[in-house]
Structure 1
Amino acid sequence: ECPSGVVNEETFKEIYSQFFPQGDSTTYAHFLFNAFDTDHNGAVSFEDFIKGLSILLRGTVQEKLNWAFNLYDINKDGYITKEEMLDIMKAIYDMMGKCTYPVLKEDAPRQHVETFFQKMDKNKDGVVTIDEFIESCQKDENIMRSMQLFENVI
């Protein structure tokens, strides 16, 4: 319940945790909150949320990939580093909880990051730019298929 029409980060985390009771969604919810809080005022308004949701559900491939890149670019410097991607991966694994099947190995997040960078970091400079990200995602059938899953939901 948000009578003011805005949600602060703590409330966002509480709401998000209800979707993932088996794990700890705190860190991932923090990253997600920052992606929805486009004006960086520490609150997600209904308008902010609807704009983000609209992109995720109805946006073009380019808009969806830009939104995802913004989520992964934690410090908003225009690059995704291995450290940022590892933080995101760990947050996702924490959120999914220990009850995943098959049981995940301790180094699974790091392995995912290495695979991500092998695929995305075209010039091998240790960071992924928005152009590298978009180009690589558009060439990946699995990513493109997963983006189309939600197109007709609303």
Structure 2
Amino acid sequence: MSSMNRRAFKELVRTINSRVQHFNTAEIECLIREFEQLSISGTVANGLDRVMFKRMLHTDFGLTDEMIMDRVFRVFDKNKDYSVTVDEWIEGLCVFLRGNLDEKIKYCFSVYDLDSKQHISRNEMFSWLKDCLMRQSTEEDHDEGIRDVIEHTLKKMDHDHDGMVSFKDFNQAVREENLLLEAFGTCLPVPTSVEMYERRVFWEKL
């Protein structure tokens, strides 16, 4: 049973259940308990701080890119108070674990839109691609190679030819080629990690 009293626990479950589509009542109860276990060692009362959240992403889902994990934290933290509350946690996981294509497109675009201006600029593309390509490249002129990739990506995704990728562009590009959903870095868990997480949090506790 949760550390909160039974009435408060049931009310929290009811409230969250009215806002999420992809978890049932029993699963929401399990996620609340999981959240409480994670938050015990954190520094924020009734929430997950950035460090604990990123540790969870790495441990449970294998994410390793610091910038990606930081952006995922910011997308989960809807009220921008530098912590993830239990309702933000479960609403975020609803898309992260079980989102449909529409939800995942919106989520990934939000992760990549660094300045929240509803478009991904050349500079943002450069930021996303630089570290990844530098790790893979053996060429000396890393920046030139990255710019070539950016130009190719823009050509493929910039449907209105304004030099940046709007949400409309991103949405259209992903629907034409689903592999572009994570064009700028891995921000969704692979199916095997989702299965392992759900087995541990749901199946073994229900």
Structure 1 length as normaliser, TM-score? 0.72
Alignment partner, residue 41 of structure 1: 81
d(CA) in 2 for partners of 1:34, 1:133? 20
Question: Match for 1:121 among 155, 158, 173?
Answer: 158
Q: Secondary structure at the match of 1:43?
A: coil
CA contact (8 A) 1:9 1:33 kept: yes
Higher helix share: 2
Instruction: State the structure with bigger RCO (CA 8 A, min sep 6), 1 or 2.
Output: 1
Q: For this pair of structures, how many residues does the alignment match?
A: 142
Structure 2 length as normaliser, TM-score? 0.56
Q: Structure 1 30/109 Cα, relative in aligned 2: closer, same or farther at 3 Å?
A: farther
Q: How far has the Cα of 1:127 moved from its partner? A: 1.3
- Cα RMSD (Å) of the superposition? 3.2
CA contact (8 A) 2:173 2:180 kept: no
Deviations 1:90-135 (A, max 9, x none): 35x29xx95xxxx434345444433321111112111111111101
Q: 2:155 is aligned with what amino acid?
A: Q
Q: Secondary structure at the match of 2:120?
A: strand
Any stretches of 5+ residues in structure 1 without a counterpart?
none
Alignment partner, residue 94 of structure 2: 54
d(CA) in 1 for partners of 2:107, 2:151? 22
Q: 1:129 is aligned with what amino acid?
A: S
Say which one has the larger Rg.
Answer: 2
Higher strand share: 1
Q: 1:104 is aligned with what amino acid?
A: S
Aligned-pair identity (%): 22
Any stretches of 5+ residues in structure 2 without a counterpart?
1-37, 182-187, 199-206
Alignment partner, residue 104 of structure 2: 64
